[in-house]
Amino acid sequence: DVKVTQSSRYLVKRTGEKVFLECVQDMDHENMFWYRQDPGLGLRLIYFSYDVKMKEKGDIPEGYSVSREKKERFSLILESASTNQTSMYLCASSKAGQNTEAFFGQGTRLTVV
Amino acid sequence: GQNIDQPTEMTATEGAIVQINCTYQTSGFNGLFWYQQHAGEAPTFLSYNVLDGLEEKGRFSSFLSRSKGYSYLLLKELQMKDSASYLCAVRVRHSGYALNFGKGTSLLVTP
C-alpha cells in the first residue's frame, strides 16, 4: 500500500513560534507538495519539490519555507506562526511523468493561538 | 494561477445519476484530475484525462474537452457513501507536476 505520512494529525502552537510539519513517503516518488485547505478556498499550493534539495514556490509561499534533504521527506516550516496560518495542511507526493496521480497524507490540522 | 470553476454544492438522490462540471482557463494544459474527499479525510484519486473524450471507471466516468476548457465527472447509481467533496484539478507544464485545484463541489446524496 502506498503511503504518505504526516507527523501530526493535530497541532496547537502559539503566535511567533517556529513550526515544523513533517511528511514522509515510502513510494520513492520524485515530486512532493505542500497544500493548505481552507473552507471556501479549496486546496492551495504552498511549495513543491521535484528532487532532493530542489524547491519551487507555489501560489501562497509567503510565511513558509521548505526543506528536502532526503528523497522521502519534505518538511514545511512556518518561520513565525501567525493566526492566519491556522489551517489544514496536506502533503502529497507523485512519481515523475505524465500520467501520475498525487497521493495525499491524512493532513495536519494546525491551530495557531 | 489558473481559473478553475466548479459548483459549490449539489444534491442528488440515491440510485440516480449526477454530473459535476468543471471549467478551467489556463495555458500549458497538461492534464485534468478528479479527486474525492470525504469529510476529515485525505483526497483520493478518481480519474485522469489528458486527451479529449470519456474515461470510464466503473460507476464513475470523466469527460474532457480541451478546446472548451471543460470537464465533467459523472457518477452513476449513486450510493449514500458517495456523499463527499469532489475536487477538479489541472496540471500545467510550467508548474512541474503540481496540481492546481478548484474549490471543490460538496455532493450530498439523499435517500
pLDDT at B54: 97
Q: Stretch B26-53: mean pLDDT, rounded?
A: 93
Whole-number mean pLDDT of chain B? 93
**B41 to A103: CB separation less than 8 angstroms, yes or no:** no
- Burial tier of B70 (Cβ tally within 10 Å: 0-12, 13-18, 19+): middle
B83 Cα to chain A: minimum distance (Å): 17
Residue of A48, A90, A98 with shortest CB distance to B96: A48
Instruction: Tell if the CB–CB gap between A90 and B42 is shorter than 8 Å.
Output: yes
Q: Which residues of B touch A103 (CB under 8 A)?
A: 45
Helix (H, G, I), strand (E, B) or coil at A82: coil
Could you tell me whether strands A108-112 and A103-104 are parallel, antiparallel, or unpaired per DSSP bridges?
Answer: unpaired
3-state secondary structure of B95: helix
Question: What is the rounded distance in angstroms from the CA atom of residue B82 to the CA atom of residue B100?
Answer: 23
Give the Cα separation of B59 and B47 in Å (integer): 12
Question: For residue A24, what are the CA distances in angstroms to A43, A45, A48, A73?
Answer: 20, 18, 14, 5
Residue of chain B whose Cα is closest to the Cα of A60: B1
A47-54 average pLDDT score: 93
Quick check: B2 pLDDT over 70? Answer: no
Residues whose CB is less than 8 angstroms from the CB of residue A105 and which lie 6 or more positions away in sequence, other chains included: A4, A5, A6, A23, A90, A91, A92, B42
Q: Where are the beta strands (DSSP E) in chain B?
A: 3-5, 9-13, 18-25, 29-37, 44-49, 53-57, 60-65, 70-75, 84-92, 99-101, 105-110
Set of chain B residues whose Cβ sits within 8 Å of the Cβ of A45? 95, 98-100
- Residue A78 host element (H or E): strand A73-78
- CA distance to partner chain B, nearest, from residue A18 (Å): 25
* Predicted pLDDT at A28: 93
Tell whether the model's pLDDT for residue B1 goes beyond 70. Answer: no
Count other Cβ atoms within 10 Å, centred on residue B1.
13
Q: Name the minimum distance, in Å, from the CA of A17 to any CA of chain B.
A: 26
Dump pLDDT digits (tens) for A52-66. Answer: 999 999 999 999 999
Cα separation, A101 vs A29, in Å, equals 11
Task: Check if the beta carbon of residue A6 is closer than 8 Å to that of residue A91.
Answer: yes
Q: In which band, very low, low, confident or very high, does the pLDDT at A78 lie, cut at 50, 70 and 90?
A: very high
